[in-house]
Structure 1
Amino acid sequence: MYEVSSFRLYLLRAMYLLVVVGLGIVLWPDIIHHSKPWGLMGGTVMCMLAAFSIMCAVGLRYPLQMLPVLLWEIVWKTMWLGIVALPQWLAGHVDPAVQGQVFDCAFVVLVYIAVPWRYVWSHYVLKQGDRWTIGSSRAASAGPKSSMKPA
């Protein structure tokens, strides 16, 4: 299996820290001091981003174990840029709200740079997946069978 360098681990930690600090400055004051109820979408987005920032805080300690959080970030931002922003840009109808979101999502480039792609390939593509059946886990965890029968 591919071993991730210390430099790459620190790069991942820097990415997690960027998210934690960024959302800590922008998002958490609104969560802690909100005075009126949020609407459905606004509240959903706030809670999802808060959860994301907490998971990134865990990523500071466990950068490889929390890597799926950054992969999720890559997937949704890349999808949004390709499915929402790009068609509007090609049609020449980019409003200020979309422009702001494009700016925020463009930072996904930093995540692409920080992710150890050989590790992702070896651990999420090449590595055998977890078992699907319960029976095989009992046999594996029981160890070698003893010749003695229970009384």
Structure 2
Amino acid sequence: MYLIIALGLALVVWPGVLRHAEPWGLSQGVVKCMLTAFSLLCIIGIRYPLQMLPVLLWEMTWKSLWLLLVALPAWQSGTMDDTIIATAFECAVAIIIPIAMPWGYVFDQHIRKRGDRWGAAAA
């Protein structure tokens, strides 16, 4: 999963990051920088797949939320335009993440496991 994401972003995002002639607007700059950071974290995930699972959980969560809160209402109201359709297809690719996710490990390590103590450590 990490390799697929890292390669995809390397092909799609990195050329524009490395060779952009004009300054980006606020939204475009935020998106490009976040995707670049995400691709770098996915490269780390190739080496440390279990430790980097929160990165995949974040990806799956934001794309699911976007599909439910933006694309679905636009589709239901008949207001989907070309940009929403294109983004919906890009987000729909995240359907592979829950298929590849080791849910037993996620449940044990991120839900059932006792959380770390806040504040000073017990002596």
Q: Paired residue for 2:73, among 73, 87, 94?
A: 87
CA distance in 2, matches of 1:112, 1:46: 25
Deviations 1:106-145 (A, max 9, x none): 0111011111111111111100000112041xx0xxxxxx
User: Please, which runs of 5 or more residues in structure 2 have no aligned partner?
Assistant: none
Please identify runs of 4+ aligned residues in structure 1 that moved more than 2 A. none
Higher relative contact order structure (alpha carbons within 8 Å, sequence separation ≥ 6):
1
The TM-score with structure 1 as length reference comes to 0.80
Aligned ranges 1:1-151 → 2 under 5 Å: 15-136=1-122, 139=123
CA distance in 2, matches of 1:100, 1:129: 39
Deviations 1:38-90 (A, max 9, x none): 00010010000000000000000000000000000011000000000001111
CA distance in 2, matches of 1:25, 1:124: 32
1:94 Cα shift? 0.8
- What RMSD in Å do the two structures reach over aligned CA positions? 0.7
The TM-score with structure 2 as length reference comes to 0.98
CA distance in 2, matches of 1:40, 1:92: 29
User: Please, which runs of 5 or more residues in structure 1 have no aligned partner?
Assistant: 1-14, 140-151
Aligned residues: 123
Larger radius of gyration: 1
